Structure 1
């Protein structure tokens, strides 16, 4: 029986009230009162270009792929150590995914390995802010501008995280790329069970984004009186979530500061106590690069080997604590190897290191750290 699960969804207490209010509004489909409140929240708080709520971060990535009009044979550079959606969204368009390794000091994309992978078929670089920890956005922005590429920020776990650049002025993650995507999955800091968001920072794509978000129609222009007919004008899909999801999300956004304060205390406790409580295992503990102001999304350690990782996971489970390993390198996945062949498997040393050795500890808004201490010490 687990006493401490890996994750436990947090409720502020206002979620059901806002869902009932959405019902009273008489509109439960997409793009109503709460959808607009949530989108405007992100645009105002973080200065994003235009926010579009989606059913998931996966869908937000798929929407970005449509906006870029990607074609079979186009290439995108993607970190191998990431969730499958980061690659899947573009593979669905027939693109070739070119995998790049992680950095040695933390699991983010190795920016110094990018330029030799760029050729005349490369359309974009997808930067994953692993665990809400910023990539080197000065370097990524410079590379994408130099080679005239799209920059996509997969900021699934990076709500309320910042990049501290050369000018020492913190800038929110999601504000750098032509496109940025976020997740409101139940494991994220801010959640509505399943949900996501696409941020469009390039104004050249705003009209098309409205169409793609509305199933490929000119619905928004029609409603505003700019078009006389409601027509199919482009490829698109049902990306927008219902008002029920948006109402739940709004209750979370209202309490974002309080949620972040709770998570910060838990993260600091883990940083200060887990190394001592688990000193026998001699893990290498989570590193935050100096350019990142993170959002306390996760806490991890690195075991010395795959065997040691599994021993510690089993030890914690026996104590009633569910810790987990994380992503499995996509370059070594069965699907990718079915495309390139076993003989063409890349050797991405750092990605494989994190796949085999990284341990994520439970971290959620209502985690009882004293109970965690007692269980580990027992």
Structure 2
């Protein structure tokens, strides 16, 4: 049984529709009955075990957000004031904020024109004696070129922290996203494929970071070691914060993780419908559709199209809204933002970022989206472009 959460009344087709499997409410009741609502209870452990098995990381720690997981990664990477962190400008603010909070300096590098991922060919030119880490962002659940990125990191002794916020159930060369770098972070925000409203997880792939990660996760204390009977009392031993989600969030997430394969299949079917239906417009040169490298298996996190220019994108958004269809553009590049200019710097030029970010349009995508609704969306796009 599946349960749809309420739709937005003002829109026939919202951009996003949070999806529930139907088991979430039963598991939340169980969590309440268990009498343990704070973090690190039975449902927390189930979720972490699933992530460790599915992704193949040494340790997974679920968090109250992907932002929290990235902040933990910055602590584990020992980011100090003045350290530089290479990342794309075309990403969410949390990718940069996590490091700026430690005094780090984001160094923005351009993206690839095919996948919108960090352009690995421009990383070495951005490296200086102050460089501490590389943060590849797997845009739309499509893997960055991780083999080359890891090779560069090894040559220059750099940390690699995968921002796999959009990457649950995606792989690069058959390896799950988030399992390749030293650390990874995933998101369970309601706009992602697998959700808990707000939520995330830190994935630890370097075994010697596991003990400290757990301490940071529990407010800088060795509380988990105490409950395992490894020490006779727990105390404050390191920096940290309250990064755990409640058991209610973990209970909701567990229902989603159980259904992750089913959710992914549904999304992939919708993605393929879009792709097959819009390919003719791409052949006519009116739009560009997503490009998925053969060695990447994606999770259908989003479907987007690239319009000829900013004006046509703006006009199409209005046209779709007139037809009760809500579509959105994505990130405003961080290097052009006030905080990005204050806290970061640019390496090279970001012409691809500037160009594609102004032309990308995201279309509605969620498991309960119906085939007939996709047809309506595609027909509206086709009619609009035919009139241009």
The answer to whether the 8 Å contact 1:31/1:240 transfers is: yes
- 1:238 is the counterpart of 2:238: no
2:252 pairs with one of 248, 254, 258: 248
Residues 257-276 of structure 1: pairs in structure 2 closer than 5 A: 257-276=261-280
Shift of 1:314: 1.0
Alignment partners' CA distance in 1, 2:269 and 2:350: 35
Judge which range, 255-264 or 268-277, deviates more.
268-277
Alignment partners' CA distance in 2, 1:262 and 1:117: 40
Q: Report the equivalent of 2:100.
A: 91
The answer to whether the 8 Å contact 1:281/1:303 transfers is: no
Gaps of 5+ in 1: 165-169
Shift of 1:347: 3.5
1:55 pairs with one of 59, 64, 72: 64
Q: Report the equivalent of 1:222.
A: 226
Alignment partners' CA distance in 1, 2:57 and 2:341: 38
Gaps of 5+ in 2: 1-9, 381-388
Q: Report the equivalent of 2:210.
A: 206
The answer to whether the 8 Å contact 2:82/2:103 transfers is: yes
Count of aligned residue pairs for this structure pair: 371
The answer to whether the 8 Å contact 1:337/1:345 transfers is: no
Map Cα deviations across residues 37-63 of structure 1 (whole Å, 9 max, x no partner): 000001112211100000000000001
Judge which range, 66-75 or 365-374, deviates more.
365-374
Q: Report the equivalent of 1:321.
A: 325
The answer to whether the 8 Å contact 2:107/2:347 transfers is: no
Q: Report the equivalent of 1:335.
A: 339
Alignment partners' CA distance in 2, 1:338 and 1:97: 10
Q: What TM-score do you get using the length of structure 1 for normalisation?
A: 0.94
Shift of 1:280: 8.4
1:3 pairs with one of 9, 12, 36: 12
Aligned-residue RMSD, C-alpha? 1.8
- 1:161 is the counterpart of 2:170: yes
Q: Report the equivalent of 2:41.
A: 32
Q: What TM-score do you get using the length of structure 2 for normalisation?
A: 0.92
Shift of 1:339: 4.8
Q: Report the equivalent of 1:167.
A: none
Shift of 1:224: 2.1
Q: What SS does the corresponding residue of 1:131 show, helix, strand or coil? A: helix
